[in-house]
Each structure stands twice: as structure tokens, then as C-alpha cells.
Amino acid sequence: MDFHENYSSLLTQLPPSLIKAGWIQLTTRKKNPLSESEASSISPIIEAFLKHEVDRYQRNKKSRYNPTIEAETKSQSSASSVLYTNIAPLYSEEEVNARIKEATDNLRQEFIKSTEETLKTIKQQKDIECNQIKIDMANWKEKDGKSYSNISWKK
């Protein structure tokens, strides 16, 4: 259970538990597991895997609580808030509201147009169906010789 010595620079950046977990992961994965001899050799797959593990470990290590980073962040945020209050906004509230109203009006007009076109298409389809029913009823009337004009449709 040893990686090739060429990877020692990467392995020194990882704790022993992650090295062991990585070995197990490579040799027992469902798709294309590596044999112990393959895992102990030099391979771009192993190198890429170890680099990924080191990167992931370093990111997780940095995201843990670090008081010096937190203090720097607080001082930077207070400095940026001072700068922000001294800079005039790019747009006034009225300009922003006008742009929002214009965009909303444009969207509403597009929605109305789209809805009208959809309803027009549906009405045309229903008119065609209604005309077909009228034709079918007229043909049925001629065939039977009876009048169906006083049929009441029940729901």
C-alpha cells in the first residue's frame, strides 16, 4: 500500500488518513479499479488524482476557522463600506425605477401579444372543429331524414 516515490512531494501535503483513503478509493472503485501494482506505479491517472486530493485538502483547510483571515476580512469590509458611501451611486433611484418600469412594460406587451396569438390560434382550431360538427350533423340529418334542430345538449 505505497504510492510510487515520485509522488512523495504530493503525499507530504496530505495527512496519512487521506493517503490511506485515496489508496482504498483507487483500488476498490467500481469502474476500472487499479491493482496494487498499478497504484504503486507512475501513472497520469494517479498523479491527477493525488493533485486533486491535495487541492481539495488545501481548500478545505483554508475554509476552516482562521482568526487572522477573519480579522483581515472585517478590516477590509469596513474600508470598503467607507469607500462605497463616499462614491456617488451610478444611477439615481428614479432612473432605476424608470428602467424597471420600462422593462416591465415591454415584458407585459410581449406577454399580451403572445397570449393574443395563442388565443387566436385556439379560436381558429375550435372554429374548424365547430364547422366540422355542423357538417357532420347536416350529413346525419340528410341520412336519417329527421330534424335534430331541437336537441338540447345536457352536461
Name the residue ranges covered by the structural domains of the chain: 5-73, 110-143
Model confidence at 60: pLDDT above 80: yes
Asked if 28 and 73 touch (Cβ cutoff 8 Å), the reply is no
Q: What is the mean pLDDT of residues 85-112?
A: 80
Q: Which residue has the higher pLDDT, 65 or 87?
A: 65
What is the rounded distance in angstroms from the CA atom of residue 112 to the CA atom of residue 19?
Answer: 62
pTM higher than 0.85, yes or no?
no
Torsion angles phi and psi, residue 97, rounded to 5:
-60, -40
- Give the tens place of pLDDT for each residue, 126-143: 999 999 999 988 888 777
